Amino acid sequence: MASLDDLKKRIASVKSTQKITKAMKMVAAAKLRRAQESAEKGRPYSEKMNNVILNLSNGISDKENAPKLLSGTGQEKTHLCVVMTSDRGLCGGFNSNIIKKAKSYFLKILDEGKELKIITVGSKGNDQLKRVYGDKIIENISFKESKNANYFDADKVGKMVIEKFESGEFDVCTIFYNQFKNVITQIPQAQQIIPLNNEGEESSSEESYEFEPDEDEILSNLLPKNISTQIFKAMLENSASEQGSRMSAMDNATRNAGEMVDKLTIEYNRSRQAAITKELIEIISGAESL
Amino acid sequence: MSEEFKVEIVNPEKSFLVKDDVSEVVVPAFEGEMGILKDHISIISFLKPGIIKILSKSGDENYYVEDGIVEFKNNNLSILTSTIFNLADMDKSKQQDLLKEAEEEANKTDINDQSKYLADQKVEVLKTLN
C-alpha cells in the first residue's frame, strides 16, 4: 500500500489537474457562446448564396457549357479532400471523429483505384494523418495566429483550392468538418463542393430573373466565391463544435478528477487510521509485557 | 401605397444591415451604376468596387463595397458582400490604407485583365472619396 505521503501528493496533484480542467471548461463555455453566435450569424450569407446559385443554375440555358466548377470536369479520377480540424488538442473526440470519417472515405477512394490528394487545415489533423497518408498530403494550412474563424482565412483556402482545380490537379473536391448540433453532439460531415452538388434541392421560386451581365458570367464569378463561403461555413461550424466538444470533455475530466479525489481521500483516511491503530497496539502490548 | 421596399446587406460574418423603409438604392453594378426602385423586375447582378447609396426616410446612407452580388426579388433587395464599410464610420487614415492597398494591387504585373480592372476601379473610387 502506498505510504501516507505518497497519497497526500497524489491527492494534491489530482486536485490541481481538476482546477485546470475546470478552468478550461469555463473558457470553452465562454468561447462556445461566441463561436455559436458567429456560426448563426454567418448562416444567412451562405444560405442566400446557395439560393442565388440555385436560381442561377436552374436558369442556365446551356448545360453543356456550364462552368466546370458547377458541372465538373466530366471525370472522377482524382479526389481532393480538405480535412478541417482544430489546432489545439484536449477537445475529446472532436478531431478523431473527423479523421475517422475522412479515413473511411479515403479507403473507399483508394479501393476504387482513384487518386487521392489531401489538404489538411489545422495542425491536429495533419499530425494524425501524416503517419498513414503522409505522401498524399499536398498542403497543410494552419491558422494558429487567428483567434476566431474569419472570412479572410477561408478565402485563402478557397483560392488555393480553385487554383489547383483550374490547373487540373483534381476532379472532385470534398471538405470534412464537424457540424455543430449541440454541445454534446457534433456530426462529422463530408460535403462535396466541386462539382457543386445541388441535386434534390428545388428552387423555391418559379420566377425568372433578369441577369446583368449574362448567366454564365455571373456564375463563373459566383462559384469561386461560393467555394470560399462553404469553407468559411465549415470553419464556423468547426470552431463552434470544437469548443462544444472541449467543454463536455473538460466537464467529464473535472467530474472524474473529483471522483478520484474522493476515492484517494478515503484511502488516505483509512491508512492513516490503520497506522494509528498499529501504533496503539504496539504501545499497549509493550506496556503489557512489562 | 407606399413606395418603400426592404434591403438586407449580409457579409460572411453577420447580417450587416436590414432596413425596410428604403425608397431607392443605387448599387455599383458590374456594367454601370444601377438605381433600384420599388417593383423593379427580379434581377441578379454582381458588383464592382464602388459606393452603395441607400435613400430612405430615416436618412441617406453611403457604403463602400469592394465586391458582391445583388439579388432583387419580390421587393426584397439582398446584397451579399465580403468587404463593406459605412462611409460615415470611415476616417481618412482607413481610406488611405485601402487606397494604398488597391494601388499596390493595381500595379502588379502578374494579374489578369479582370482583376486589374477591378483594382483600377478600387483606386478610382477611393480617390474620389478623398
Whole-angstrom Cα distance, residue B53 to residue B70?
13
CATH superfamily membership of A23-246: ATP synthase, F1 complex, gamma subunit (3.40.1380.10)
Residue A76 · residue A114 · CB < 8 Å:
yes
Of the candidates A228, A249, A200, A284, the residue with the CA atom closest to the CA atom of residue A29: A249
Hey, is the C-beta of B114 within 8 angstroms of any chain A C-beta? no
Q: What is the CA radius of gyration of chain A?
A: 28
- Give the pLDDT confidence score for residue A70 in this predicted structure: 76
- Give the pLDDT confidence score for residue A224 in this predicted structure: 84
Per-residue pLDDT band for A217 (boundaries 50, 70, 90) equals confident
* Chain A residues touching residue B67 (CB < 8 angstroms): 225
Co-location of B11 and B46 in the same domain? yes
Whole-angstrom Cα distance, residue A67 to residue A42?
26
Co-location of B12 and B74 in the same domain? yes
Of the candidates A107, A131, A136, A104, the residue with the CA atom closest to the CA atom of residue A119: A136
DSSP state of A135: G
Co-location of B60 and B103 in the same domain? no
> Given an 8 Å threshold on Cβ–Cβ distance, is B44 in contact with A38?
no
Range of the domain at B113: 91-129
Co-location of B68 and B45 in the same domain? yes
Whole-angstrom Cα distance, residue A193 to residue A188?
16
Q: What is the mean pLDDT of chain A?
A: 86
What digits encode the pLDDT tens for the residues A22-65?
999 999 999 999 888 888 888 888 888 887 887 777 766 666 66
More confident residue, A72 or B71: B71
pLDDT at A196 over 70: yes
Co-location of B10 and B53 in the same domain? yes
A173 counts as catalytic = no
DSSP state of B37: -
Co-location of B49 and B100 in the same domain? no
Measure in Å the smallest separation between the Cα of B10 and chain A Cα atoms: 6
Whole-angstrom Cα distance, residue B6 to residue B19?
6
Co-location of B38 and B56 in the same domain? yes
Calculate what percentage of chain A has a pLDDT beyond 70: 92
Co-location of B64 and B110 in the same domain? no
Task: Please compute the mean of the pLDDT values over residues A252-281 and round it to a whole number.
Answer: 95
Co-location of B74 and B29 in the same domain? yes
What digits encode the pLDDT tens for the residues A147-191?
777 888 888 888 899 888 888 888 889 999 998 888 888 899 898
Whole-angstrom Cα distance, residue A115 to residue A171?
10
Domain containing residue B71: CATH number: 2.60.15.10
- Give the pLDDT confidence score for residue B130 in this predicted structure: 63
Q: Is the peptide bond before A195 cis (omega within 30 degrees of 0)?
A: yes
> Given an 8 Å threshold on Cβ–Cβ distance, is A38 in contact with B12?
no
Retrieve residue A161's grid coordinates: 483550392
pLDDT at A80 over 80: yes
Of B42, B46, B82, Cβ closest to residue A151? B82
Co-location of B23 and B48 in the same domain? yes
> Given an 8 Å threshold on Cβ–Cβ distance, is A209 in contact with B10?
no
What are the structural domain ranges in chain A?
4-22+250-285, 23-246
- What kind of fold does domain A4-22+250-285 have according to CATH? Helix Hairpins (1.10.287)
Whole-angstrom Cα distance, residue B124 to residue A169?
37
pLDDT at A201 over 60: no
What digits encode the pLDDT tens for the residues B34-61?
898 888 888 888 888 888 999 888 888 8
Q: How many residues does chain B have?
A: 130
**Of A5-9, A94-98, B39-43, the least confident:** B39-43
- Give the pLDDT confidence score for residue A75 in this predicted structure: 80
> Given an 8 Å threshold on Cβ–Cβ distance, is B34 in contact with A212?
yes
Domain count, chain B: 2
Q: In this structure, are strands A210-212 and B43-47 parallel, antiparallel, or unpaired? A: parallel
ipTM value, please give it.
0.74
Number of Cβ within 10 Å of residue A170's Cβ equals 22
Co-location of B76 and B16 in the same domain? yes
Co-location of B10 and B59 in the same domain? yes
Of B12, B31, B71, Cβ closest to residue A229? B12
Backbone angles phi, psi at B85, to 5 degrees: -135, 140
